Structure 1
Amino acid sequence: MRISTFCIVFLLLFVNTSVGQDAEVDAYQDSLQNIIDKNNSKEIKKESLFLLGEYLVQRDPDYAEKIADQLKAEYINTSDSSEVRRTDYIFAASHRWHGDYKTALDFYRSIYNYSKHKRDSIDIAKSAHFIGTISMFLGNNIESQNMLLEAAAIYDKIGSASQKARINNSLAGFYLNVDQLEKGKQQYLKALKQFEVLKDSSGLASVNANLGMVYTDLGEYEKAEYHLMKQKGYNVVFPTLREMGFHHDFLGLLRQEQNRLDEAYEEHLKALKIRENLSSTYNLCESKIHMGEILTKLGRYDEAIEQLNDVFSFEEHQSLNQEQRAYNLLADAYEKKGDFKSALATFKDFKTMTDSIYTSESIEIIAEKDALYNQQKKDAEIALLNKENEISETKLSRSNAIIAISLIGLVLLTIAAIALLRLNKKIKSKNDTITKALKDRELLLHETHHRVKNNLQMISSLLNLQSKYVDDDKVLEVLQNGRNRVQSMAILHKNLYVGNDLNMVNIQDYFEGLVNSILNSYNKTENEVELSVKAKDVFMDVESVIPVGLIANELVTNSLKHAFPNELKEKPTINIEMNEDDNNFILKVKDNGIGIKDEFINKGKAESFGQRLIASLTKKLKATINVSNGSGTEVSITLPKS
């Protein structure tokens, strides 16, 4: 600590010894202001301004920002990177507590990039922690996870006990945000123990509030009440309106789950009144969402709709998660009110927002990153264990020489043997832990494919539902084709999550499911159209199967639509065959229909979206396509394996 800082802290401690706890907050601020106002040296004034700005970011963000502006204009040496970053932290925090998350993120990212350039590990972790937390609020789950895990990895190695506790608290919130409730609970309990050791009243208030929410969601209402009352008790030690806003809001959610609706409304109203007078628009929107929820349950639909619509009027933070929840609740309120048109419109907005947050790609990335982080921790533990093993082996080799000389050697050998047995147990325990982690990852991937399949199935159902309101045959055909394409991908993910291999697809099973789906979509039976599949013992990786499935879907659909006019005397037949050799996969789709026009074969003319889609997908796969007319049409596509 520099001399000026020491002097300031000493002066503040001296002043605070004569005041009670209720007056300490004002005394601290007044003492700093007194030092600034007096004719002290520039260095002492500068350090006092830093301390005052850092102290006020939660309590008075506007004043904190003015202090940062003053520091930047009158005191900061722009060549001193530590002072620039310290000022930027004040700017970032003041915007954060205002609810202006976009501007706050710009400051934190600037600090993060500079710290990366300077290889300042602690500042990298600190700024990454803030970026990860804000990104979680905004619904940017992948960036949130990347930053939080990077901060956690650094704090695991060189962080303080307080930093480790706070990153665990934030990681718990992230797991809840991606619906991993049990994992989030365990992370909060870990953070709770760490804050208890530190006797950190602010951290204890936060983690108890969060545990109250978790146990509410789990239906364990007594535990939820216990932790929310603990939070209220810690708020007496760290008294801020912001913390009381959380207390009343979370207690209102508990009362909702207990079906004590009138009490829930009163708690949510208290939280809303508090937050209307605070700077954070994010927390205000949380209250409006919860007010919309309870008002809907109380049958006060117009009031609920008004509160929920207000969520979209705040542009400071633009939280995808909040907008998603608001759309969902609005759809429910409109439906119960009897306004089904508005209910359908807002439900579509909810689905669009949900798909933008929880894409199949983002779910897989989150699962892989989480598994990688856990695996790295296990690897570090195993590396340490291996080092201990090497040391033990060295001691054992030395003991062998002593054994040959005297009885003491025999005793040492016995001790070494016992040590090795214990070491072997430790290694077995670590291996069991790794095996469990791999099983958990496999279960998570199964669940991911299951969710993707369900989402695709829902999209397919929505397209099917929409088609019932369409009178135009061309539009109906477009919707039907779109539904078939979506269904082809849904069948793929179904095969993955019910199968034993999460990376390779059994083509025979996949094509059988695909052709049955296509026949059902065109209301055809096996008596009307004979459809055969020959692809036994052919397996392909997931990345290749998606375009291959879409191509097969288009070819079979084209045959059903165009190859069999009413005057055809033979029974319509379509054969799908997939073979492989050392270098290629060969897909053949043949029908006994009227054949394709020569101009499409000779000139490569594409007359429909489906044909253009086939051309695009074959190009992506670096495949060659051959079309021939004999007794019907045969399309052969050769796909290189590498």
Structure 2
Amino acid sequence: MKVTGVKFWLFLSLVFCHPVITISQNFRKSTDSLQSQLSGKIADTAYVNTLNRISNELHGRNFTEAIYYANLAIQKAEEIDYKYGVSKGYQNIALTSWANGRYDQSLENHKKSIEMFRTGGMTNELAEAYNKIGLVYFYIAEYDEAIGYLNRSIEDYRARRDTANLARVLNNMGLVHDAKGDYASSTRYIIESLQLSQSFRQLRDQQNRTYGKGMIHENEFINRPILEERLERIERVSESGSAEQLANLCVEAAEIYFVLKEYNSALSYYRRAAEIYAELDEQVLLAHCLRDQAECYAELADFGTALEVFRQSESIYLREGNYIRLAAVVAQLGETNYKLGNIEESILHYKRLIALDDSVGHRAALSKTKVALAGILLEQGKKQEALSYAQSGYEIAREIGSLTRVETSARQLYECYKAIGLMGTALSYLEESTSLKQKFGDELTHREIAELQIEYESEEKQKAIDQLSEVSELQSNVVALQKQLLMLMGGGFAAFAVILVVMRNRLIKIRELKSGIEEKNAHIEEQNFKLEKRGRERELLIGEIHHRVKNNLQVVSSMLRLQQRKVQNVVAKEALFAGQNRVQAMSLLHQRLYQHGSYGKIPIADYVSDVCKHLAKVYNLDTQKMESSFEADNVNLDIDTAVTIGLMANEVYSNIFKHAYPFVEVLRLHSEIKRENGLTIRITDNGPGLPEKIDFNETGFGLRLVEMLATELGGEATFAGGKSEGLTVTISVAEAYIV
């Protein structure tokens, strides 16, 4: 039992707060240089910019000084009416506050900065400012606010066609939806981010192979040469470089060793860096190194030493007021104590972590920690206390709207109530947890398929390019040799004997090259065959997923039908019946996908017709008393849009079969789907129609649902036909939703 995700939060804080250790190879020298510029004769705007640069370099390691320089920049910029300088000063205060866990202060200053960027027409700064404040809201689990600001950043970067930054912010948006448990939305953003980044990946890997300025990579082939280059630089800097540069290079080498799982080597370089940072009195960087050392000891299963070094790191973070990293270390102390069997110590650290998460506003982490602590307490037989923490974690997860946290906390509540003996309550939480887990599993499967497809297509495309280049080179060689033959043949009879020998050699070479071309062509054909095979395998896998989803929906429908039989209340029976029909409407789509294999494009006319026929059977209509006609253009839609239209059709046909069919001798039903300014779906009957004045707020849920779903598709739903005139329902869908 442990609190997972600590490294994830630290990763976010390190990446998004721009720590100096990865930005600057020589921090102190850079800061001293900037400070020396302040004493010289420079323009007022340059003076403000220098103050802001100093604040920016300090914000990850010295909260007090970073705030001091940012305030100086704001004061000076206001004196000279330099709005950009004021805006950057507020932004530096926001970044410094964020890096040290002061989120309210960070949000306040980010908003001041954004307002000044906006009113001052500094549009180039706005996109990144929106991204930064969105990430702060993400930290404190206010996901709707985070999504709002990240959407603005995406719009700005998209309008400016800044592909690299757009990919980065799309990925951030995917992380926010991922934290909520909305994996379908998360997948859309992450896949788009991957697709945009794909064109940069080959260039990035090629640059990494120069080993001059490579980042740590997932591939050992790239990491090894980068490591060798770092070690060579460490030797050079040890002889004639600065201490700060040497320490930073040692950290980089240690990080690569850690990725390569060579923990003893990583330890030696972390220790060397820590000694230098201690001599330089760089306390925050020293704490980072100590914590990294402790993680190496933990990987080596030396938990006693890891615990001691974690405590050293903890004391520095506590003294420096660096609450984010302090919370991460406290979590690791709790986890390490648990592994050592110090259960009471572990519980105390988790309770400290709860207080820290609560004080800085990490509500998602707070929910997770409480659930983890509940698990430990339950193992110790403290059932009521465990239940209290699990219930609190569940309520926080519900409040912030994180379905992932809801799932894990519901599972823990099941365990707690089961241990207490309240099996009815336990089963309700188990059902909620299982339902969410099933949903996550299906959506994550879709994401994995999409990500693998992107990676696979990129790799195969590169292979094909490489093979075509080889064939082209061989063909060029053949052409060159043929030209040489022609030149030799025109050399004259005097050199005939020599030419015969040369020609013989050249012909042999040509045959060899042609043989090589044939081999390459055969290899390309083999690769094409493999591509086709993998494509068929992918289609089978996607088909199996739709089959699985259809079966799951059938199970849900059966559960609703069983529940309907036990319910006595008429209104509740009708609600369950309507819900069952909606589930069946979605099931029909996945059945069609599974049977026909049209995974990307759905013929909407066929699907709507299926819904109508299914409902006619459900309502047990007499086919002799019903005349149905259908006109439709050939229109294809994606799965999400098709499901929405299927739900609307379900509601309209259900309404007709309930309220029109019983009052006419023969029900005349006409449906049509046309391409008119997008897509128009019109369904008409000859029933009693609608009252002259109808208030949709007082009608059943069905017609209101049609209106809401039509709005989601950028259109609207209208209901026409007075008393005894029949009913005509017209639904419009925006052009953007048509494949």
Partner of 2:405: 322
- 1: CA distance, partners of 2:95 / 2:224: 27
Q: 1:427 maps to which residue?
A: 524
Residues 387 and 154 of structure 1, relative CA distance in 2, 3 Å threshold = same
C-alpha change, 1:549 and 1:276, in structure 2 (3 Å) is closer
Residue 484 of structure 1 aligns with which residue? 581
2:136 alignment partner AA: K
CA contact (8 A) 1:324 1:353 kept: yes
TM-score after normalising by structure 1:
0.57
For the 8 Å contact 2:604–2:642, the answer to whether it is kept is no
Give, as a single letter, the amino acid of the residue that structure 2 aligns with 1:154. F
SS in 2 for 1:596: coil
1:390 aligns to what?
472
CA distance in 1, matches of 2:341, 2:396: 28
Q: Which residue of 2 aligns with 1:154?
A: 200
Instruction: Say whether residues 1:379 and 2:461 are aligned partners.
Output: yes
**Alignment correspondent of 1:290:** 372
2:385 alignment counterpart? 303
Q: Which moved more, 1:116-125 or 1:478-487?
A: 116-125
From 440, 446, 450, the equivalent of 2:543 is 446
Mapped contact 2:604–2:637 kept (Cα < 8 A) = no
Question: For the structure 1 residues 289 and 399, does the alpha-carbon distance in structure 2 shift closer, same or farther, using more than 3 Å as the test?
Answer: farther
Which residue does the alignment assign to 1:272? 350
Specify the alignment match of 1:176 in structure 2: none
Structure 1 residues 28-86: Cα deviation after superposition (integer angstroms, max 9, x where no partner) = xxx988998999725799788766544x4xxxxxxx44444234334699569999999
In structure 2, the CA distance between the partners of 1:128 and 1:609, relative to structure 1 (3 Å rule), is closer
Change (3 A) 1:333 1:145: farther
Counterparts in 2 of 1:427 and 1:96: CA distance versus 1, 3 Å:
farther
Shift of 1:367: 5.3
Secondary structure of 1:41 counterpart: helix
Counterparts of 1:79 and 1:605 in 2: how far apart (Å)?
56
> Bigger shift: 279-288 or 83-92?
83-92
Distance 1:304 1:353, change over 3 A: same
TM superposition shift of 1:291: 3.4
**Contact 1:496/1:505 (8 A) holds in 2:** no
Q: Distance in 1 between matches of 2:34 and 2:646?
A: 78
Matched, 1:400 2:482: yes
Equivalent pair of 1:271/1:287 in contact (CA under 8 Å): no
- The CA deviation at 1:326 is 1.6
Q: Match of 2:389, SS?
A: helix
- Contact (CA 8 Å) 2:407, 2:437: kept in 1 or not? yes
**Alpha-carbon distance between aligned partners in 2 of 1:420 and 1:399, rounded to the nearest angstrom:** 15
Going from structure 1 to structure 2, the CA distance change for 1:237 and 1:75 (only over 3 Å counts) comes to farther
* Pairwise CA RMSD: 6.8
3-state DSSP of counterpart to 1:424 = helix
Amino acid at match of 1:41: S
In structure 1, the residue matched to 2:687 is 596
Distance in 2 between residues matched to 1:39 and 1:610, nearest whole Å: 67
Matched residue, 1:219:
none
C-alpha displacement of 1:353: 7.1
Asked whether the equivalents of residues 137 and 319 of structure 1 are also in contact (C-alpha less than 8 Å), the reply is: yes
In the TM superposition, residue 487 of structure 1 has moved relative to its aligned partner by: 1.3
How many Å apart are 1:372 and its aligned residue? 4.2
CA distance in 1, matches of 2:681, 2:157: 53
Deviations 1:592-624 (A, max 9, x none): xxx834x66999999866578789999999999
Q: Tell which deviates more after alignment, 372-381 or 230-239.
A: 230-239
The 5 A counterparts of 1:511-530 are 519=617
Alignment of 1:209-248 (within 5 A): 231-232=299-300, 242=328, 245=331
Q: Which stretch of structure 1 is more off in the superposition, 153-162 or 300-309?
A: 153-162
1:41 corresponds in structure 2 to 36
Q: Tell me, in whole angstroms, the C-alpha distance in 1 between the residues paired with 2:426 and 2:306.
A: 46
Distance in 2, matches of 1:410 and 1:422, equals 18
Q: 1:484: how far off? A: 0.9
Paired residue type of 2:513 = A
Paired letter, 1:306: S
Q: CA deviation at 1:288?
A: 3.1
Decide whether the 8 Å contact of 1:463 with 1:480 is kept in 2.
Answer: yes
Q: Conserved in 2, the CA contact under 8 Å of 1:576 and 1:587?
A: no
Q: Deviation at 1:231?
A: 2.7
Q: Determine the C-alpha separation between the residues in 2 that align with 1:509 and 1:118.
A: 40
What secondary structure sits across from 2:71 in the alignment? helix
Deviation at 1:551, TM superposition (A): 3.3
Task: Report the equivalent of 1:412.
Answer: 509
Inter-partner Cα distance in structure 1 for 2:399 and 2:467: 50
| 1:77-121 Cα shifts (integer Å, max 9, x gaps) | 956999999987666554599999534777996999998899888
Tell me: higher relative CO, structure 1 or 2? Use CA pairs within 8 A at least 6 residues apart: 2
**Structure 2 contact 660–667 (Cα < 8 Å) conserved:** no
Corresponding residue for residue 69 of structure 1 = 67
Kept after mapping to 1: 8 A contact 2:387/2:416:
yes
Q: How does 1:596-635 map to 2 (within 5 A)?
A: 596-597=687-688
Whether the 8 Å CA contact 1:331–1:347 is kept in 2: the answer is: yes
Q: Once structures 1 and 2 are overlaid, which stretch shifts more, 107-116 or 552-561?
A: 107-116
> Which amino acid letter does the alignment assign opposite residue 517 of structure 2?
L
Q: Is the 8 A contact 1:624 1:637 kept in 2?
A: yes
Answer yes or no: is the 8 Å Cα contact 2:154–2:166 preserved in 1.
yes
State yes or no: 1:500 paired with 2:591: no
Q: In structure 2, give the amino acid aligned to 1:596.
A: G
Task: With the length of structure 2 as denominator, give the TM-score of the two structures.
Answer: 0.51
> In the TM superposition, what whole-angstrom CA distance separates every residue of 1:276-334 from its partner, at most 9, and x where no partner exists?
58768455644433333455567654233222234355999875422332234324533
Q: Identify if the C-alpha distance between structure 1 residues 542 and 340 changes in structure 2 by more than 3 Å, giving closer, same or farther.
A: farther
> CA distance change for structure 1 residues 501 and 49 in 2, over 3 Å: closer, same or farther?
closer
- Percent identical pairs in the alignment equals 15
Distance of 1:66 and 1:470 partners within structure 2: 65
Give the C-alpha shift of residue 371 in structure 1: 3.3
**Change in 2 beyond 3 A, CA 1:165/1:414:** farther
Distance 1:102 1:581, change over 3 A: closer
CA contact (8 A) 1:128 1:148 kept: no
Alpha-carbon separation, structure 1, partners of 2:166 and 2:32: 35
Code of the aligned partner of 2:71: A
Letter in 2 for 1:73: N
Distance 1:132 1:343, change over 3 A: same
1:272 aligned partner, one-letter code: Y
